[in-house]
Structure 1
Amino acid sequence: MTHAGHDRIADLAIAALHEPDPDALWRSIAEEVLGTLGADLLVHKEDDWTPERGAVRLWEPTESLGADAVSGPLRAAIRRCYPVVDHYLVSGDPAPVSAGGIIGDARWRGTAFATIAREELGARDVLTIPFPDTEEPLRGWLLLRTGSPFTPAEVDGAHRLQPLLCGVERQCRTLRRLRTPPPQAVPPAPGPAAGQAAGPIADPAAARAVGPAVGPAVAAADPVRLAAEHGLTPRETAVLTLLAGSLTAEAIGRRLGISVRTAHKHIQHTYRKLGTADRLSTVLRAQSLGLLPLPRPGHRDGR
């Protein structure tokens, strides 16, 4: 992979960190990686795989082919992914690797996975890029090539891209969590007083005393939209969420794949935009605005 290709993907990864839609994060990066590494198809592993279950969707350079483009036997072979899965289980080394690089091109071509991938997709080699520092289960990419095997230089290019892709994966999952509204507790309806028949409350004053059946409207609003209304970028929103989880600037930097200095800058920008001066007041302010869920009873947040 050329330095120019790496720089283009780095620019795309930085741009993706300002993309509020997690489903739109990967498309342009996937297209660039396919072109840069000379691959023809891509599988994004986002959940746990067994031979019987797990989403398998193929990407071409210009579109997602969807699950219907993959036959049952091919889906099972991709999930099994011999010899790559065995290699990672035995070695514990999460570095990118090609199937031919593990057991040799000749032996790889004789495996069941290689045979069915060649028959259905014309694929001749598979290169995997795991995302080792993301949440369980292990996520990553499988790149398939229809021409010659992946070269050592292309595997090395995958090594250089791996930290960028891990950072985008973490950002994508953080945005998905933010877009999932927290469950709202619904208080039980008050029972009738002694000697009073059950039924709707007729007294308006009593109705006001009981209060609404659900929380304030701001608690059910989209946190991503609310963050944009308060001038927060998606990256600052992710930092805010991690602040609420009591992570230090150093831990935030490691989680998001950025330097400690950059993490401090995002924290200071978040303080300024919310009109606060420290972590606790920032978390409390964000909760009052609906940017963060309210703490559960008995749970001390912002520390």
Structure 2
Amino acid sequence: MITGGAGFIGSAFVREIDNPLVFDALTYAGRLENLKDVKHLFIKGDIRNFQEIEKAVKENHVDTIVNFAAESHVDRSIVDPFIFLDTNVKGVINLLEVARKYDLKLVHISTDEVYGEQENSTEDFPLKPSSPYSASKASGDMFIHSYIRTYGVNALIIRPSNNYGPRQFPEKLIPKTIIRILKNMEIPVYGDGKQERDWIFVEDTAKIIKKIMQEGKKGEIYNVPGGQRRTNIEIIDEIGKILGKKPLIKYVKDRPGHDKLYSMKNTKLEYKTIPLEEGLKKTVEWYLNNQWWWTPLLGDEFFRSEVPW
């Protein structure tokens, strides 16, 4: 069962699995449109509701849960942290309780942001989250550790770096940049735009998660960096080159607690990822060819240039 399987990374993972069960609350970033071309069984359900999870597990004889369900936008967590607590902490506890009760395997998708600004973080680094979002993800990770130790739950944690690719909600940097360039709009950029992120193409992430699901060991943490660090400005400039247009950049006040960099090392896996330039070209092409997908998502917030989403 893939929780959050109608979201960005979750729907990419669904494409790697043969006819999976998708469990998703269909909040603003989870959309059935993300699954329209892939065979699956869908159940509308919320990981904040224990009874809904339990019912889906019992009725469909689930033996493994891969959890992508999360509130994931840092800006939104600064405005309203409480929903991040409900989904990213209480929701994870619900999944752990179901896994404990029915002896299931839980594969939990976390984030590199739990390490904060530490350079070359390995899986045993201390967690130093900076935002309410990353703090909620770190809290979920800690509860997983506690359930493994206390109850013997069969669980593991995967921490990918920044993902990009098709079907990413327009509030995020890369799709926002593509769409705003296409519409000749200013692209709001926090601070000096030199915040550095490590990028990985979402289809690579999905394949790696599948491998870890099949071969990963109970209690382990797996970092999944892309190995391709770029500043936000470099990303925007590269997208402009692909589209053949000069981006219109508007620098705005930096957000509170903004991490300057995320940097992980992978010590447990071997994998290959496509080069960032190639992945960006594929991503731009997808957004050009699928305007039906993103046009309905451009609400009032998208057209406000003083904030980045």
Settle same-fold status: TM greater than 0.5.
no
- Structure with greater helix share of residues: 1
Task: Point out the structure with max Rg over C-alpha.
Answer: 1
Q: TM-score, normalised by structure 2?
A: 0.32
Higher strand fraction (1 or 2): 2
Please give the TM-score of this superposition, normalised by the length of structure 1. 0.32
